[in-house]
Amino acid sequence: MNGRAIFAIIRKDLKVVLQNKGLVVPLLITFLVFFVVFPGLSALIPSIVTDFNPDAGDIEKLISQMQPGLQQELSGLNMSQKATVFLLVHMMAPMFLIVPLIVATTVAADSFAGEKERKTMEALLYTPTTDRELFVAKLLSAWLAAVATALAGFVMYSITANTASWSHMGRLFFPNAMWLVMIIWVVPAVAGLGLSVMVLASARAQGYQDAYQIGGAVVLPVLGLFYAQISGVMYFNIVAVLLMGLVFWLLDGLLIWFGSRIFRRGRLLSA
Amino acid sequence: MNKTVITINQLSRVFKQTVAVDKLSLEVHAGEIFGFLGHNGAGKTTTVRLLNGVIEPTSGNMRVLDLDPQVDGPALRARTGVLTETPSMDERLTAWDNLSIYAELYGVPRADVSTRIKALLTEFDLADRAQEKVGGYSKGMKQRLALARALLHKPELLFLDEATSGLDPIAAHHVNNLIERMARREGCTVFLCTHNLVEAQKLCDRVAILEHGRLVALGTPAELTSQYVRRLDVEIEVPAEQVPTTLAVLRSLPKLVLGEPTQPNSALVVTINKYESIPEVLDCLVQNHVRVYRLAPQEANLEQVYFTLHEEKEGVQ
């Protein structure tokens, strides 16, 4: 494997994406909403969960429907603290996964289908890179972008959550062990899932929009996790997160193996 | 004889129902400018892709720079440069970024990258706009930049697919000079795909003409014109008052003079059946007291070869 060539393609793909305001601005807005606005709103929690506010009862009722493990985790906390931990630590966990997924699918769609659409792929195919180097470089560019964004987001989220909740939490409560496992184990796998689905979608698609529409469905399993947790079917604890990561990694392996088989120079040209 | 750098033997490529390249066989020698002529869709670009190991042939075999493109594709592509039909530049990046990334991909030594890029940008008159995004470039500038990219790693074999398409006459002249210099002084072999027959006539040592993926003619421009051009256009200048007499004389020679003479300017243009008929035509004019000021056979060119072959092909079909 020619590391210099792989690095050059990654550099190129990331530069091209960063120059595209149509992609960067929506991603930046998503980043701010998920990692600054949502955790920042936790500052309002004490004023919502007062005894005089009927919404407080709703939250209590919602928590009572959760898995026993989660209820046990929240025991010993006052109402504001319960609501904060419930929302910022547990409810936001599946939503957090949407960000690496969106970044991975966006960059992968631009890198594979977008390049084909802009007719810049052909010049790349005449370089001495092998099919495998091209494939690895394109996967890595989307994966690195997604993981780096998620890591930056995680740091931002941690700072905002702890700062905004300091008045009623009185301590650093975020991240907990489950989040650390999620960031290290699940986020890279979810990013891999997004880009591997997009590799397959790009093989069929004629352009960026086309690929993005086909591959966009990959967000559904993550939304499914959110609904599973809010309906009390499951909750994000270390074991669940480890298992979830394993399933995502297995899916990644399968999809990337299949993607590598269809990634051939000739197909990229004649498609 | 020069070393052979490309050997193609019975090469075919079929896309579903379309035969893009049909049992193509030819050789290209080191240091020559080889013209690959054909209309759009004749199979030129497909052949370039096959020769660089970008697509696989349906049948047949080939050797390029002593390598098999299907087996040694990466090693081969490190020694070839390709200018694609569309410039294929990343328009969101600057010219400098475009070239520096491809310098990495082609393995240009790190210490030489900057010097090499500067030299090429200067050569192609793009140095002062090196830090501008390529999206703002004109078509001709993009084409020049794409050519600079193809030359970054000093290839031994250069494939140019419509190299001067979209260029203004001065830029086209500059590129043609560069192609000649690459071949004549630096020993680079040039495989020039074009449908610009004037350019091919001027630049190429040998040409191959392709029709629907099939090779229909191969040789030097002179060989092909003598082989295929059976008609000859001759300009005859006579006094204005003698034009009617001249026309009458020419019309009386149906075996020698083909079609109706035309008069696009002060001189008449006559198509005669062959070069050897010129004295006979002149003799008839003189015998009829026509005062011939000038009789100039027009040089046969590849354009006539091309159209003769095309007409033959259409006639067969």
* ipTM of this complex: 0.84
Please indicate if any CB of chain A lies within 8 Å of the CB of B72. no
- pLDDT tens digit string along B77-89? 999 999 998 888 9
Cβ-based contacts of A120 with chain B (< 8 Å) = 88-90
Angle ∠(B189,B194,B195) on CA atoms, nearest 5: 155
Of A12, A126, A265, the CB nearest to B101: A12
Of A12, A128, A266, the CB nearest to B90: A12
- pLDDT tens digit string along A51-105? 556 566 677 777 777 788 888 888 888 888 888 888 899 888 998 999 999 999 9
| pLDDT confidence band for A234 (50 / 70 / 90) | confident
pLDDT at A271: 43
Q: Which of A127, A265, A270 to mutate to test the interface with B (most CBs of B within 10 A)?
A: A127
Omega cis (within 30) before A175: yes
Find tokens 């379309």 and name the residue: B18
pLDDT top residue among B53 and B166: B53
For residue B310, give the nearest of B160, B159, B195, B206 by alpha carbon.
B195
- pLDDT tens digit string along A213-225? 777 778 888 888 8
Q: Which of B72-81, B134-143, B261-270 is predicted most confidently?
A: B72-81
Angle ∠(B148,B152,B158) on CA atoms, nearest 5: 80
Q: Is the dihedral of CA B96, B102, B104, B106 positive or negative?
A: negative
Of B55, B74, B88, the CB nearest to A128: B74
| pLDDT confidence band for A163 (50 / 70 / 90) | very high
- pLDDT tens digit string along B201-259? 889 999 999 998 999 999 998 888 877 777 778 888 989 888 889 888 888 887 787 77
- pLDDT tens digit string along B113-164? 999 999 999 988 899 999 999 999 988 889 889 999 999 999 999 999 988 8
Ordered DSSP codes for A101-170: HHHHHHHHHIIIIIHHHTT-HHHHHTSS--HHHHHHHHHHHHHHHHHHHHHHHHHHHHHHHHHHHHHHH-
pLDDT at B314: 67
Alpha carbons B60 and B43: distance in angstroms, whole number: 15
Question: Once rounded to an integer, what is the mean pLDDT over residues B92-105?
Answer: 96
Cβ-based contacts of B56 with chain A (< 8 Å) = 266
